[in-house]
Amino acid sequence: MSDDDEFAAALQELLASLGSEATEAASTAADLLELNSFPVFSSIDEFYYERLLPAALLERELREDEESRLVDELHLRIVESLNNPDRDRTASTSLIYALGRSNPWVGIQRILDILVNHRANLSIGEVHQCVHSLQRCLDLPEDHSRYTEVVSALAQLNPTPILEAMTRVPLELNHETECLPRDIGFVLEQVRRFSQHRWRE
């Protein structure tokens, strides 16, 4: 079996395991996406991932169509989990975290969908992870060649009303989410920056 075939088989195995072994598989997905994401987000040496990922998933870079498949599967599992009142909240938070490690132009539409269209089903921890994942997408530099794709995604599914609504109601915070109001304010500023880019076009 070629290295490419081994990579494809390992990726397929990861996709299949996101349903039955969500927390462990989400961790692997997060590491794989982070390793292959826009370099500005990867502050860790690539050899760091040799201790975290199966050897087959280190054979080559993740192609964008493969990244999209992984992002779509993560999104599907997250939505299924959010619609299940008996869900494992640790697993769903881990899946959202993994989604946030994708390249911004690949993952942002799915992150926005969860935050905007499924807000009513999100726990405070899941909201916090969505905000962090969105913040990571919005760190994309304006001179990046894929910047306008992020601008377009924000125009199609604007998170501002949801985020602003969260600033007007008391949030049940704990020690892990106590910085959420500050993070929401920061993300709102980032969204406005992207909006200004759209107005200048």
Tens digit of each residue's pLDDT, the chain (201 residues): 676 889 999 999 999 999 766 788 999 999 999 988 866 555 566 678 888 899 999 989 899 999 999 999 999 999 999 998 887 778 889 999 999 999 999 999 999 999 999 999 999 999 999 999 999 999 998 899 999 999 999 999 999 999 999 988 777 887 778 899 999 999 999 999 888 876 455
The whole-angstrom separation of Cα 9 and Cα 59 is: 12
| 3-state DSSP assignment of residue 29 | helix
Instruction: Say if CB 110 and CB 73 are below 8 A apart.
Output: no
* Distance, CA of 153 to chain centre: 14
pTM of the model: 0.90
All structural domains of the chain, each given as residue ranges with its CATH number in brackets, are 3-200 (1.25.10)
pLDDT at 103: 96
The whole-angstrom separation of Cα 22 and Cα 37 is: 21
Burial-class residue 27 by CB neighbours within 10 Å (0-12, 13-18, 19+).
middle
